[in-house]
Amino acid sequence: MAKNFIAPIPKRWSDPVIKLLEEGDPATIEWTFTALNERLLLGFHSEDMAYKHCIKTLRTPNLMGECVVDMRTKSHQKRCEAWAFLCPHPLNSPTPLFAKIGLHEDQLNIDLFSLHIDRKGDLQQRIEDHLNKKR
């Protein structure tokens, strides 16, 4: 079984995700119950505010993330390409946000699996470990 891995988030994934987030069509973006409820705690008063925050982060040059292997869409349990990445906290907390988004194979829909504080803090450590190995 393939394992998750740390790498720069590829443009072939981020470009269609950004496009869907910019459009903000509820028919193409499915939130998990937890992510939708926690967005208010983070200061995102609307879904659009959360989308803009993710878009800004995804436009960061050489953004590192973790490819989450064998992730399944929420509604149809189809395999999707999912990436987890860290975003600055919108309320200026030193703890970053952990976001995980899955792009469906058709590239016409996404699942927003996670958008919450980085509770474990281990993604940042895995990214740092990966970058240190490359030096």
Q: Could you report the per-residue pLDDT of 12-59, keeping only the tens digit for each?
A: 999 999 999 999 999 999 999 989 989 988 989 999 999 999 999 999
Cite the beta strand spans of 62-109 per DSSP E: 64-72, 79-87, 97-103
Residue 97 pLDDT exceeds 70: yes
Residue 112, H or E segment = strand 110-117
Domain residue spans of the chain: 5-134
pTM (2 decimals)? 0.93
Joined tokens for residue 81: 């390409």
25 burial via Cβ count (<10 Å: 0-12, 13-18, 19+): exposed
pLDDT for 121: 82
pLDDT band at 75 (very low <50, low <70, confident <90, very high): confident
